Amino acid sequence: MRLSLGAAVLVLGLLAAPLATGAQPPGKVHRIGFLGNSTAALESNLVGPFREGLRELGWVEGRTLVIEYRWAGGQYERFPALVAELVALKVEIIVTAGTPAALAVQRARMTLPLVMVAVGDPVASGLVASLARPGGNITGLASIAPDLEGKRLQLLREVVPKLADVAVLWNPANAFHVGSEKAARAAAEVLHLKIRSIAVRAASEFDRVLDAILSERPGALLVLADRLFLHHRTRLGDFTARHRLPAVYAHQEMVEAGGLMSFGPSYPGMHRRAAYFVDKILKGSRPADLPVEQPTTFELLINLKAARGLGLTIPPSLLLRADRVIE
């Protein structure tokens, strides 16, 4: 039977369609795990972009891919049990966000590929040998950048010109925070600021920690990047507003919940990019051969409503530099 030119083109197009969309062979369903630090509701703004990224690469949930979610609810001590649950489900890859979750998977001593997202310093944490050549079964995205804490302190100084002392809220259970807290101290010395470190490891310590901040009476607050703080962002936002305490954060979500300002990489964007690593590994690439990526852009978010509540006027020069302003 001879086909017309138009019919031949149509047949060729149908045959090529699965290749063009990156769709998987019929009947093949891959299973991956997503280990979350908080809850499904609080991390929906991160999971959403990740799922969108997978769809853009041709993956269809329920047909070619199943995602198994496990949530720590801000309790890092739950990670080992949650990792064990994912392994029992026979997932092919585990995706994690933040340093503590990635370390929990690594400590399980598995050969499963791990795609980490927003890990502070994966080399210093011992997760990978180097960014360019991670080696082993781990790759993904790092959030490390030079002098981030210094830039955040400088933002506080611009908003509060007479600022003399700052309290730093950090989590010793987060391996990356040890270096970040030291970096904040070094930056504060350059800016002639007095630093007061206030540690919190678990939600049960918040009452004590917030009382400690009040007793110290700092001029401002620097909150390091940690999912524990993100999980309790509404409480922290209410606290800083009630006590008229200017604060700068790493996560934009903290500002959307009522905080003053944030500066850092786009965490939703990093989760979207994580889909690229999952796609590559499911199609045969080895994590050891996929370089760890670093953020190239950083976003400044300012909440003018919060500023008014604190009695602060944001300098016009700072507003011009903001990527987004909440009125």
pLDDT tens by residue, 215-274: 989 999 999 988 788 888 999 999 999 999 999 999 998 999 999 999 999 889 999 999
What's the mean pLDDT in 29-39? 94
What's the mean pLDDT in 264-285? 96
* Tokens matching residue 186: 């070094």
- Report residue 110's pLDDT band, with 50, 70 and 90 as the boundaries: confident
Contacts 24+ apart (CB under 8 A), 56-64: 56/275, 57/22, 57/275, 57/276, 57/279, 58/21, 58/22, 58/23, 58/24, 59/22, 59/24, 59/275, 59/279, 60/23, 63/29, 64/23, 64/24, 64/28, 64/29, 64/30
> What is the reported pLDDT for 16?
39
Ordered domains of the chain (ranges, CATH): 27-144+267-289 (3.40.50.2300), 148-264+299-326 (3.40.50.2300)
> What is the reported pLDDT for 86?
97
> What is the reported pLDDT for 224?
92
Q: Which residue has the higher pLDDT, 262 or 19?
A: 262
Least confident among 87-91, 110-114, 201-205 = 201-205
Question: How are beta strands 299-303 and 261-264 bridged, if at all?
Answer: antiparallel
* Tokens matching residue 195: 């630093």
- Report residue 26's pLDDT band, with 50, 70 and 90 as the boundaries: low
User: Could you give the CA distance from residue 94 to residue 138 in angstroms, rounded to a whole number?
Assistant: 10
Least confident among 24-38, 129-143, 242-256, 269-283 = 24-38
User: Could you give the CA distance from residue 312 to residue 93 in angstroms, rounded to a whole number?
Assistant: 47
Q: Which residue has the higher pLDDT, 156 or 266?
A: 156
- Report residue 25's pLDDT band, with 50, 70 and 90 as the boundaries: low
> What is the reported pLDDT for 54?
98
Q: Residue 146: is its pLDDT beyond 70? A: no
* Tokens matching residue 193: 């600021």
- Report residue 120's pLDDT band, with 50, 70 and 90 as the boundaries: confident
- Which contiguous run of DSSP H or E holds residue 198? strand 194-199
Q: Is residue 122 within 8 Å of residue 128, measured between CB atoms?
A: yes
User: Could you give the CA distance from residue 307 to residue 135 in angstroms, rounded to a whole number?
Assistant: 46
- Which contiguous run of DSSP H or E holds residue 317? helix 316-321
Q: Residue 311: is its pLDDT beyond 90? A: yes
Q: Residue 117: is its pLDDT beyond 70? A: yes
What pTM does this model have? 0.80
Chain-wide mean pLDDT for the chain?
Answer: 89
What's the mean pLDDT in 313-325? 97
Q: Residue 19: is its pLDDT beyond 80? A: no
> What is the reported pLDDT for 43?
87
Task: Please state the length of the chain.
Answer: 327
Q: Which residue has the higher pLDDT, 178 or 34?
A: 34
What's the mean pLDDT in 132-156? 91
User: Could you give the CA distance from residue 233 to residue 157 in angstroms, rounded to a whole number?
Assistant: 23
> What is the reported pLDDT for 223?
96
What's the mean pLDDT in 153-163? 97
> What is the reported pLDDT for 2?
40
What's the mean pLDDT in 113-117? 98
